[in-house]
Structure 1
Amino acid sequence: MDEGHLSAFAPTLSLPPGDDASMAEQVGAPFAIPVLASILEHWPPGAVASIFCPNTSACATPDRYALAVDPDPLSLLSLAVQMTGPGPDAIAAAFTQLLDANYRGRPWGQVLQDLYLTSCPACWRPARIVAYHWHGYPPTLDSRAVRCEHCGFAGDTAVEPADRMAAAETKPGRSLHWQMMARVTPPQHELREKTEHALRFYTPRALWALWQSLRILADFSLPVDQRRALQWVLAEALWRGSNVATQPDLLWQASLRRPYRFEERNLWEVLHEALAYVQARSGRLPRSLITRSEMEQKVGPGSVFLGQRWPDAKTPHPGPDQMALALLAVPAPLPLYWLLRFVWSGWLFGRGAAARLQSHLELRPGGGEALETMLHDASKALSARLLPQGKLIAQWRWRGEADHSAAVLASLPNFTGELRVAAAGEREWVALAVSAASASTAASERRNLRKVGSATMREVIRRRGEPVRRERLQPHILAAWRRLGDLPPPATRQSHLEALLDPRTSPRAMVIWDRSGESWNSGQTPWWWLQEPPADWRPASDLAELRLVQLLTASSFPTTDALAWQLTLALPADLPPDRPWIDALIQSYCHPTDDGLALRLQDDPGRRRKELAALTGALVQVGLALGFEAADWSQDDLRVVEWLQGGRRRASFLLTATTALTPRLWRSREPLPGLQRFLVLPGGRAGLVQWRADHQPLWASAVASGGWTFVKFRHLRE
């Protein structure tokens, strides 16, 4: 798979959803629909794309090439509706049928609306409660948000006694509770107690309304496509109606703890939001994207599968010029995330569908061993069944310090491609690794663990062009050991890594620094760097800054995340920028407009070139007026002015519009007697200069030892 095909769909990967994830990512994970669409659109014509989650290696048989989203039925539901779902009018008709269903002599929709009726505190006419606010353990009703269509009032008001009474009385009865929980696990099942924990993430009123809606749907006689569409609507409502929907941070917690403060939304409005969402997406993914195939779609306990088979039995395999792809989604070890998906699957499809996710409930943050056990057999089987020129792509996501990339890489087959890491959001990353199915290494090629690890460290640092911390080195070391068949067993793996990454015993041709660019001392964070950087040295941070200016010169971007993704994909796969550095660049170069983020007017490249030429001429004239000899020259997008006296350099001015100067500053780090050095930059780069000095040891060391003084453009004009 070449870089173009990889870049085409990498920005849409999202597993599991993060703080700013859309509802499609919440319900449609582990494979969001844009991932599938982009893969199929950009994969070479006539090729076969096979998508698998763990535990689906049985689908990868020699005579079947399948697009499978098993074991997660919610993912398949989202995919099936978007590929073959009915039109908006048909979904609306089925939704109306749901709301018109008889519930104890009244339309079900009317019952839902009455749950949230009150009097407007301003005009005393009927008004709608938009949300209830709860807090504490156990939860206490705190306030309510009211909206009046008569006088326009909208805001929070105090809770009335009738609200507390309704909250206490409206809850599932024993029969409904037993019926819905039995759809997930039997009463005596070992997971029944854990399953019951999921109920704490709903208020009794919301749970009753959602369960009644699901039970009414189960009694309907609807065409298959309309039933699936309504199931997706209710799946969206199960997420939006929970008390963690407005607090995505809770999905990353290790315990099954209810939030201290949460919001209970109006289920009538939630259902209509979910309806509009599904209507906008149903049937929008063309079936023609999966070519030469017969489609089989089943959602339910019997089979969760969307497959493609070759129509001609005489040609069960692709031709030698075709390729095959398997995309393996790595489940995140998030107990709450998988518990919710587990019970949702049972409520929607029954016990058989929920059982497919049972193994995911044992995952725990930091549980690298569990990930290895889950992934190793499936990935090995998938890789073995791909064509020799096929590819296996693994995707996973982590947050903050809980980086599971090392465990994931160690569990997957031999990877020949580089690890791509993209900054998905604040403190969040998505990793994508590509493996050739035919990669193998004989035992005779195995090498000493330290030798292989040291060589890998040097290569990673050389390509990145900047000092690197252990968090970035560790997954590459493990991947290198795996490629050569030298991966130590789990019991001793960490000790080998600790020995290799011990800053007191630096590998050959490397030095260990602290953040300020000084020699490392105990108690400080170590940074590994090369004793001699390569001649063609292009640091990742410099490339990111130059590329960002090019992107902004060409167009604007709607959000910070959109620009961050595009910048990540515009760089080589092995030089991903850190999100804090991207944020610093955006703050320095961008300003908000009606179209989103745009390049500041004063940073237009043509304008900056004219400004640099004018300042260069001014410095030459000032030097001559002061009695110095003055010389100037240009190189790439920077200019140099030097003042000389008696043939000796007295002052050197480096003028440029960017801070992409790391190699030049580093090579000018040695002080020269009688020479003063000045770095002349726009005032808007001051934040980048400070950021580099605080976070990049090369800059901190070079600026301090070279005696560089920062001068703003406006100071020269004055």
Structure 2
Amino acid sequence: MPYFSGGKSDSFGPLARYLPPTPEGIARAFLAEHIRAGAWVLDPFGACPRFSVEMARAGARVLVTASNPINRFLLDLAAHPPTLADLQAALAELSAARKEDDRLETHLQALYLTQCLQCKRELPAESFLWDSRSGRLTGKIYNCTCGAGGEQPATAEDEQLAAQWSRADALHRSRALGRIAPPEDPHRPIAQEALAFYPPRAVYALGTLINRLDAIQTSKERRRCILALLLWAFDAVNSLWPHPIERPRPRQLILPSVFRENNVWMALEAAVKALHTEHPPIAHTLWPEEPPESGGLCIYEGPLRNLAAELHEIPFRAVMGVLPRPNQAFWTLSALWAGWLWGYEAVGPFKRVLGRRRYDWNWHAEALQALFTHLTKHLPAGVPFFGLLTEPEPGFISAVLHAAGQAGLDLSGLALRGEQEPLQIHWKTAKNWRRARHPLHPHRTHNILRQILATRGTPLPYIHLHALALSAFAVQGVAPAPNETLAAYDTAIHTALQNPEFTDLENRSTPETGTWALSQWKNLGMFEPMPEP
């Protein structure tokens, strides 16, 4: 199975730290080889707006489902990128808005005033640094015109200014919660817990911006740009930015031991450059309006299950998408951000994500199986399905391949390259299928692993061995018993690897970190095992 190469992943676009890091060009390469221009393609996940839009730019008519209001907005921004002039004008409108007797920019910058330790000049800090364990303000980052700056210790005056916002915090948080969940909403306590990942000063600043948003009278496009700037700031000023790591990829709401409290206004200024791209706009519509035959994007505002019964009405030539992975941080914060941008009515059914605290691979497999089942039930047999699995790890691979097999998708190939590069999975929809009948027998697993290594003829990192084993299980109809979890796959593979027929060249303490080979290769002089650490 060929591996479709792509360019670099976008790690600096809007909310990129939460989205799958997808190399540019892969979608275009697959379409060029398999699908004619103007054909319909279904993206049932909507997990990576850039991937969906790339398909549309390549000439496909893409129907993408998106139940997350923030993902829908990201799709809109990717399909119709704001111009630099409109973004700058939107920032200027925010800056000129009034807060009592001050311009809004002046008022918000004053929240972060500090003193240069060298020239004693007063200036806004870029960030303050907090120790989450002690709750103390420990440092600040600024750049003064005198040449001094960088990371410096916080002063007593910095602590006093921060304490001022802590004293009025309850009122500001109550107002911020009102746009997400009214007082009688059962989700309000959970939204309140999520809001705790915003420092008091940020809660006040964001609330001030949101209030001004409601009062600004401007064009539809200018308002869209203001919303885009605010969304960037919503993420930039939460407490999920560890110091000194600058580009984390949070998946759970866990406070870093030291976090940055970033300046809200400076985040808005940074958003202008970050949101601007040179890509031309493409045609995009909302379901049921169809995009033109020359290609474009059609966004369905909801989950696939609500659209499933109508899928047979469109002659889809392929299903393509980036497979989602559980991300409690992004999904929870998306509910907050959607409420702040459009009001609590806009959050709608997506608010249910607030009620779920943990997402394990077994839960994810069940969710994916339900989605895949809609495809096998409502699409004709033989439709190719190209799935991209980014940031591969054993649990993610097991969840995806197990769910697809149980839903009746026929696995036709799996392509892999580097350990950190995306897995490319090829399925076809099927109608006449049966659920897996064969148990995870140790002897069968042992034979599968041996055959994989013998066929490849080279040592494999565990992640590749695991992926190829799960692929073989799917093809042969092997799966855990109904009362077993996905961990049964790991147990079967780990147990088989304990056989002397296999060897870990790196002598690692756990199988998942090793590089695996057939022991007999040592006698053939094919490798020299590394010494034990």
TM-score bracket relative to the smaller structure = 0.7 to 0.9
Structure 2 letter corresponding to 1:276: K
Distance, in Å, in 1 between the alignment partners of 2:299 and 2:342 is: 11
Equivalent residues in 2 for 1:24-423 (5 A)?
A: 24=14, 26=16, 29=19, 34=24, 38=28, 42=32, 44-53=36-45, 67-149=63-145, 151-170=146-165, 174=170, 176-246=172-242, 247=245, 251-252=249-250, 256-280=253-277, 284-287=280-283, 291-292=292-293, 303=301, 317-318=314-315, 323-327=317-321, 329-332=323-326, 334-354=327-347, 355-356=349-350, 358-359=352-353, 362=356, 364=358, 367-398=360-391, 403-413=395-405, 414-421=409-416, 423=418
Partner Cα separation in structure 1 for residue 514 and residue 137 of structure 2: 50
Query: How far does residue 317 in structure 1 lie from its aligned partner after superposition?
Result: 4.4
1:632 maps to which residue? none
Alpha carbons of structure 1 residues 36 and 362: separation in structure 2 relative to 1, 3 Å: farther
Instruction: Judge conservation of contact 1:54–1:375 (CA < 8 Å) in 2.
Output: no
1:497–1:87 CA distance, 2 compared to 1 (3 A):
closer
Q: Which amino acid aligns with 1:325?
A: V
Q: Distance in 2 between matches of 1:402 and 1:524?
A: 8
- % same residue: 19
Q: 1:437 aligns with which of 418, 423, 429?
A: 429
TM-score by length of 1: 0.59
1:474-510, Cα deviation, whole Å (9 max, x unpaired): 444444343444433342365576456534885xxx9
- The number of residues matched between the two structures is 496
TM-score between both structures, scaled by the size of structure 2: 0.77
Would the aligned equivalents of 1:390 and 1:437 in 2 still touch at CA under 8 Å?
yes
- Tell me by how many angstroms 1:462 deviates: 2.8
- Report what 1:464 is aligned to: 456
Q: Distance in 2 between matches of 1:352 and 1:336?
A: 21
Deviation at 1:84, TM superposition (A): 2.3
The structure whose RCO (Cα within 8 Å, separation 6+) is larger is 2
Counterpart CA distance in 2 for 1:205 and 1:52 is: 39
SS in 2 for 1:327: strand
CA offsets 1:588-634 (integer angstroms, 9 cap, x no match)? xxxxxxxxxxxxxxxxxxxxxxxxxxxxxxxxxxxxxxxxxxxxxxx
Specify whether residues 122 and 294 from structure 1 end up closer, same or farther in structure 2 by C-alpha distance, changes over 3 A only: same
- Pair 1:3 & 2:35 matched: no
Report the residue type matching 1:3 in the other structure: P
Q: Tell me by how many angstroms 1:372 deviates.
A: 1.5
- Listed as ranges, the matches of 1:540-689 within 5 Å are 667=524, 669=525
Q: Distance in 1 between matches of 2:189 and 2:36?
A: 48
**How much does 1:180 deviate?**
2.3
Counterpart-to-counterpart distance in 2, 1:525 and 1:37: 30
Q: Distance in 1 between matches of 2:509 and 2:173?
A: 61
The equivalent of 2:503 in structure 1 is: 513
Quote the offset at 1:115 in angstroms.
2.2
Q: Secondary structure at the match of 1:382?
A: helix
**CA displacement at 1:316 relative to structure 2:** 5.8
What code does the residue aligned with 1:231 have? L
Cα 1:523–1:120 change in 2 (3 A) is closer
Q: Per-residue deviation at 1:100?
A: 0.9
User: SS at the partner of 2:240?
Assistant: coil
Q: Following the alignment from structure 1 to structure 2, what is the Cα–Cα distance between the partners of residues 412 and 109?
A: 51
SS at match of 1:324: strand
Counterpart CA distance in 1 for 2:272 and 2:155 is 31
Distance 1:492 1:473 in 2: 22
Once residues 455 and 376 of structure 1 are traced to their aligned partners in structure 2, the CA distance between those partners, rounded to angstroms, is: 28
**Letter in structure 2 aligned against 1:91:** L
Question: Cα distance 1:39–1:347, how it changes in 2: closer, same or farther (>3 A)?
Answer: farther
Kept in 1, the 8 Å contact 2:284–2:296? The answer is: no
1:292 partner letter: E
CA positional deviation for 1:291: 4.8
CA distance in 2, matches of 1:521, 1:271: 47
RMSD, matched Cα: 4.4
For residues 243 and 532 of structure 1, the distance between their equivalents in structure 2, rounded to whole angstroms, comes to 52
Q: Would the aligned equivalents of 1:27 and 1:236 in 2 still touch at CA under 8 Å?
A: no
Change (3 A) 1:188 1:52: same
Aligned-partner residue type, residue 375 of structure 2:
L
Contact 2:141 2:149 in 1 (8 A): yes
Alpha-carbon shift at residue 153 of structure 1 (Å): 2.6
SS at match of 1:489: coil
User: Aligned-pair distance for 1:193?
Assistant: 2.7
Kindly tell me: are residues 504 and 50 of structure 1, through their superposed partners in 2, closer, same or farther at Cα, counting changes over 3 Å? closer
| Equivalent residues of 1:503, 1:526 under 8 A apart | no
Unaligned runs of 5+ in 2: 48-60, 286-290
Distance verdict in 2 for CA 1:455–1:220, change over 3 Å? farther
Partner of 2:50: none
Q: Distance in 1 between matches of 2:488 and 2:18?
A: 39
Classify the secondary structure of the residue corresponding to 1:418: strand
Contact 2:46-2:71 within 8 A present in 1 as well? no
Q: For 1:31 and 1:469, locate their aligned partners in 2 and report how far apart those are by CA, in whole Å.
A: 21
CA deviation after TM superposition for structure 1 residue 464, in Å: 2.9
TM-superposed CA distance for 1:370, in Å, is 0.5
Q: Deviations over 1:236-276 (max 9, x none)?
A: 1122222323447875576x432221222222221100112
Q: What is the CA–CA distance in structure 1 between the aligned matches of 2:104 and 2:510, rounded to whole Å? A: 68
**Pair 1:505–1:198, CA change in 2 (3 A):** closer
Q: What is the SS of the residue equivalent to 1:213? A: helix
Conserved 8 A contact 1:441-1:485: no
> Within 2, Cα distance between the matches of 1:295 and 1:132?
44
Tell me by how many angstroms 1:181 deviates: 1.2
* Conservation of the 8 A alpha-carbon contact between 1:327 and 1:393: yes
Instruction: Tell me the distance in 1 between the aligned counterparts of 2:430 and 2:380.
Output: 8
Task: For 1:280 and 1:462, locate their aligned partners in 2 and report how far apart those are by CA, in whole Å.
Answer: 47
